[in-house]
């Protein structure tokens, strides 16, 4: 899965978009939107000179995770916790750890 030219967490399983009515599927075109997002993020990934293929791909996967699902989950965590007056910490998302 890691070597496919798309988000690595998207396997071959059915997706939520597969449940769309055919006319909605034609209008929304979820596969095209997903591919556009993937290509945009792929162009943003920082490259290191002399980096081998595996390390470069691992950097890409980590970047996609940080800019994709993790950003979404952290936003939802903030919204839900603040809605009930909680301050929730995510220690493994400390910027010093991520930048390392």
pTM of the model: 0.67
Quick: pLDDT tens for 17-54: 788 888 988 898 888 888 898 899 999 998 899 999 89
CB of 6 closer than 8 Å to CB of 40: no
What are the boundaries of each domain within the chain? 16-99
Span 55-59, average pLDDT: 90
Rounded-to-integer distance, Cα 69 and Cα 71, Å: 6
Rounded-to-integer distance, Cα 7 and Cα 61, Å: 8
Nearest to 6 by CA among 28, 37, 30, 44: 37
Q: With a cut of 90, say whether residue 80 has pLDDT above it.
A: yes
Using CA atoms, how far residue 23 sits from 29, 37, 84, in Å, is 10, 22, 39
């Amino acid at each position: 899965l890691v070597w496919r030219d798309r988000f690595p967490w998207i396997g071959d399983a059915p997706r939520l978009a597969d449940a769309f009515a055919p006319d909605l599927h034609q209008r929304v075109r979820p596969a095209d939107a997903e591919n556009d997002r993937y290509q945009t993020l792929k162009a943003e990934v920082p490259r290191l000179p002399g980096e081998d293929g595996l390390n470069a791909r691992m950097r890409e996967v980590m970047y996609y995770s940080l800019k994709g699902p993790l950003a979404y989950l952290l936003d939802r965590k903030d919204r839900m916790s603040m809605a009930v007056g909680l301050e929730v910490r995510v220690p493994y998302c400390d910027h010093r750890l991520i930048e390392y």
